[in-house]
Each structure stands twice: as structure tokens, then as C-alpha cells.
Chains A and B, each alone.
Chain A
């Protein structure tokens, strides 16, 4: 950070405006649609496919990201919050993956 950056930071603190009902209703709609697709897929033959788990994980990750970015305002808020959360999340995911490998639940290749 440059010399005066810490001081100037203060002026930048007021973050971009939060979304309103206009966006929120779309966010809610998307979340509902993805959840519905998740549950629907569970009852189709696709459930036996090797792509089933990755697909569900991708949909779940999308919901996760939508809530965090819009409902929790991370997309609009100060970068400090983004770093705090993303850093911790990466650490948590790393530990989770490492444990799954160590207990042979996941295998390389």
C-alpha cells in the first residue's frame, strides 16, 4: 500500500450501493430454479451417471456464490471483507480436499 493509501482509504470506504428488491427478486428466482433442478435431477436416471456428482457440486457452488455475492453484498462491499472470506474459504476447502485424499475418499487420476 502506498504511503497515503491508508489515509485515502477512508474516503473510499463508502461502498457501491447495495442491490434492491429489483435484483433481489431475480436472485431469489435463480436460487429457486437451481434448487428445483437439483432435486429434479435426483429423480432422473442421470443420478447413476458419473457426471451426477460434479453437476450437483457445480449447481451448489453457483447457489453458494450467488448468496454470498448478492445477499451478503460481497460483490459490492469493501475488498477487506472479500479477502477475509475468500481466504478462509480457500483454506477450508483445501483442508477438506486434503482430508478426503488422505482418507482415500478421493484419488488422483
Chain B
């Protein structure tokens, strides 16, 4: 085994057009995993800040509780806030919208499925059965990008409605840390959509096939799934747990 490996690597050191590598892996894949490791720290810092500042805001709106525009009253229900002396017109409802966010979470999860199918399409390009449109990479790349864009649409809707309810990035610590954290994630999704659209453009132009293109899509897929995984954590830690 070792013998063969050495012979292969050294017999023709001149003029070989593939570079020798220690592991036989792909440079760009190692780099992407390293980058993902770094991104883990980025999001850990953002999430820690959100959690550290949870419940420290001086004014509403609050993520899970009812509040009052004119005072610091907080309560579990609208009635509780009013009972504590808040005028009905000043009552602020909790801003987090679980039904809407559950939908966007589902969309992002499904986009990951579309992504693996796109990769499968590239890997099996030209094989029997993969020439049908619903098995090919173009369809699934487009679906992934579309679902990513839909997620961004949900986020835009969410952000606008928060602003209408009086929560901006400047309102309180919750607003600052919430918009920054989810905004960072949204930016990652946007970069991912741009990336997927670029891949789709290449696919339309010349077709994605062969080992090099598999790698190209594989790396984008790693990035995309990572963005998905981060959202899994955010959804639980920020939206569901109070």
C-alpha cells in the first residue's frame, strides 16, 4: 500500500498536472470546514450576548411578555398589564411571532433537503434516471435559492412588523441584540442565496458535472447547511425558550 502510494506520488514529479496532497482531500473543503469552525465562534458570541442581555432591557416591547408604552410594567397577559395600571391604548403585545417563525424555520429546513438533492443531481449527472427535471441539479438549486429567498422574505416581514410595534434596533437591549443576531444570520442567508444563484447560472450555461463541479456545489452546500444549523439553534434559544 505504502509502496504504491509513494510510487504514485514520486514517479512522475515532473510535468504532473495534479499537485501532490497529503490527505487526498480537497483544499477548499478543508478551508470551508475551518471557516465554519470560525463561524461557530461568531454565532456563539452573538447568541451569548443575546442571552446575557435577556431581561435587562429597561423599556418594551418585550420578546415574550406584554408591556406598557408609558411605564415599565411587564405582565404575562394583556389583562395583567392593564390590571397593573396600564391604559388599554398603551398595552404592547409580545413581539415574537411563533407561528410565522415556525413557517420560516420549516422553509429553511426544507431548503437543506433541496440542497442535498441538488448535490446528488450534480454527483449523478448523466446517469440513468437523473435526466428527468425533478432529479436534476438545476431544479433543486433553484428550489434551494427560492426557499432561501422565501426565508429572507419572512424575515423582512418579521422585521417590518416589529418596527410597526415599536421595536427598532435602537429601542432597547432586546432590540439591539435581536436585530443584530438575526440580521447577521439573515446576511449569511443572503450571501448563500447569491452563491446558489451564481451556481445556478453556471449550471444553466454549461451544466454542472464532474468532480470539480461536485466540489463546487459541495462547498456551497456545507455553507448552506451550516446557516440552517445556526437557525435551528436560534429558533430554540431565542424564540421558543423564555
Contact = CB atoms under 8 A, between A and B. Distances in A.
A and B from one complex = yes
Given A88-B41, A92-B44, A80 B23 contact: yes
Main secondary structure of the interface of B (DSSP, over half): helix
B240 A38 contact: yes
B25 A78 contact: yes
B51 interface: yes
B241 A52 contact: yes
Interface stretch (B84-92, B112-120, B164-172, B184-192): B112-120
Interface residues of A, number: 53
Contacts of A52: 241
A56 B117 contact: no
Contacts, number: 147
A13 B45 CA distance: 34
Interface string B70-113: 00000000000000000000000000001000100110011011
Interface in A80-99: 80-81, 84-85, 87-89, 91-93, 95-96, 99
A24 B44 CA distance: 28
A71 B225 contact: yes
A35 B47 contact: no
A105 B4 CA distance: 58
B41 A38 contact: no
Interface stretch (B32-40, B152-160, B200-208): B32-40
Interface in B211-242: 221-222, 225-226, 228-229, 232-233, 235-237, 240-242
